[in-house]
Structure 1
Amino acid sequence: MSRLPNHTLKLKVGAPVMLIRNIDKSNGLCNGTRLIVIKLEKHVIICQMLSDTIINQTVMIPGMTITPSDSRYPFTLCRRQFPLILSFAMTINKSQGQSLHSVGLFLPHPVFTHGQLYVAVSRVLRKSGLKILILDTDGKASNRTNNVVYKEVFHNIYV
């Protein structure tokens, strides 16, 4: 079902996870926040936030009742679980707004949306922290990709 994570979450201390629900926006606990598991308890998972603005902050992630918004079924499904997923990688869209020390970018085909390549490469703080793997149409490593730019955007600009 959409918006409902897998029913089994297998974690251990040190696992990188991502929050998939907004819990407390004022303290940085919102959808897409990256965390490291520090301790596993029965009703709470204790994590350390991975953020440049909030350093070494320990937070407790409680189990939550999650109900999907899909109303195609004649019943309501409710499940109590932790709003976390394992996060060894993330999409370009999920990374937007984050600053990272190291970024590995895998491009099996050209980035398909205007501005996405910029978002992807601008997440890293230093050039030395960026590694890119680009594949050509034959699946071999390449050093070129297309940056999709819609030139129509620039037609009605007045200087």
Structure 2
Amino acid sequence: MRLQSGSNPEEIAEMKEFADWILDVGNGNVGGPNDGEAEISIPDELLIKQGDDPIKSIVDSTYPNLIANLYEHTYFQERAIFAPTHEHVDSINDRLLQVVPGDEVTYLSCDSVDACDISVTTDHGMQSPEFLNSLKFSGIPNHKLVLKVGVPIMLLRNIDQPNGLCNGTRLTVIKLEKSLITARVITGTNIGFETLIPRMQLSPTDKSLPFKITRKQFPVSMCFAMTINKSQGQSLSHVDLFLPRPVFTHGQLYVAISRVKSKKGLKVLICDKDMNVSSTTTNVVYKEVLQKL
């Protein structure tokens, strides 16, 4: 449904073939029926084959002429890089942040522990500011947030749903102040809307810690690149998928390749464990999950 229709019989046939391939990936039928983890080949025309510097290759493919288009909101609106883990997403975002002109602004969170949740047996070293600052959680901004004017960001919380400011909304930074970030919406129903984003108190749902942590930080992350899981709900004209390691959960590869609106808008860079370019990757599909739908 996300794919754009073609304007002539040849384009329509190509689009149908691409749509069928995406569905076969999602159903675990590429390379023959499989259940669980299976090694599959990615079509040659979708591959990025320059791998001496994988991050540079994926950045050049996704964001050509970045500086010239930095303040053109439609430029970031229609393109993004996906990767399986936060580690690889952060590497790409940090590389692109260095390319963007202007001064960096660093925001440090204020982390605290709810006194009511601290057990008498809790190691007090786990309550130290250094330890709390080092923690990273899914859906929670890191202790250290570094931004520049012009970079794209993503909201990590619903802050104003009537105006389209929801978890997953992407914006570009207009102004960085001590207690506020001014940004312009580039996705959703209110494209062009300017908003002020304050710091918020955020608590992770992670149950692995013996206490509740509260982090006061801006509820945003930089999003030149984003995790595959975070890409759900996005519709983009240009998607570059960076796979320095295989996907690791059911349907993850399908989610990544189905965000794009056309075949020509999808590029995939696969690296093996030695960071050499490859044409095969792992697809994870458990048929039992599909049978329960």
Fold-level match, TM-score > 0.5?
yes
RMSD, aligned α-carbons: 2.9
Deviation at 1:116, TM superposition (A): 1.4
Q: For residue 269 of structure 2, what is the amino acid of its counterpart?
A: L
Q: Which amino acid aligns with 2:193?
A: Q
SS in 2 for 1:32: coil
Q: 2:253 aligns with which of 94, 114, 117?
A: 117
More helix by share: 2
Which amino acid counterpart does residue 210 of structure 2 have in structure 1?
R
User: One-letter code of the match for 2:283?
Assistant: N
- 2:270 is aligned to 134
Matched position secondary structure for 1:131: strand
User: Could you tell me which residue of structure 2 aligns to residue 72 of structure 1?
Assistant: 210
Which amino acid is the alignment partner of residue 72 of structure 1? P
1:109–1:7 Cα change, 3 Å: closer
Q: 1:38 to 1:140 in 2, by over 3 A?
A: same
**Superposed, which structure 2 residues align to 1:42-57 within 5 Å?**
42-51=178-187, 53-57=189-193
**Larger RCO, structure (CA 8 Å, separation 6 or more):** 2
Larger Rg computed on CA atoms:
2
Kindly indicate whether residue 148 of structure 2 is the aligned counterpart of residue 12 of structure 1: yes
Structure 1 residues 5 and 147: CA distance shift in structure 2, 3 A: closer
Q: 2:283 aligns with which of 142, 147, 157?
A: 147
CA deviations 1:90-120 (Å, max 9, x no partner) are: 1111000111222110112332223211110
Distance 1:104 1:80, change over 3 A: same
1:107 alignment partner, one of 243, 246, 270: 243
Distance 2:175 2:291 in 1: 55
Whole-Å separation in 2 of the counterparts to 1:72 and 1:78: 13
1:29 to 154, 165, 177: 165
| Shift in CA distance, 67/114, structure 1 to aligned 2, threshold 3 Å | closer
1:26–1:104 CA distance, 2 compared to 1 (3 A):
same
TM-score for both structures, normalised by structure 1: 0.77
- State the identity %: 58
- Number of residue pairs the alignment of both structures matches: 155
Q: Does 1:87 align with 2:223?
A: yes
| Structure 2 alignment gaps of length 5 or more | 1-134
SS in 2 for 1:30: coil
Offset of residue 155 of structure 1? 6.5
Shift of the 78–143 alpha-carbon distance from structure 1 to 2, 3 Å rule, reads closer
Amino acid at match of 2:220: L
Q: What amino acid does structure 2 have at the position aligned with 1:24? A: D
Q: Secondary structure at the match of 2:256?
A: helix
Q: CA deviation at 1:79?
A: 5.1
Q: TM-score with structure 2 length normalisation?
A: 0.45
CA distance in 2 between counterparts of 1:46 and 1:7 reads 20
- The amino acid of 2:276's aligned partner reads K
Where 1:98 maps in the other structure, the secondary structure is coil
Instruction: Please give the alpha-carbon distance, in whole angstroms, between the structure 2 residues aligned to 1:15 and 1:54.
Output: 19
Q: Distance in 2 between matches of 1:20 and 1:59?
A: 15
Are the counterparts in 2 of residues 52 and 99 from structure 1 also a CA contact under 8 Å?
no
Residue 59 of structure 1 pairs with residue 182 of structure 2: no
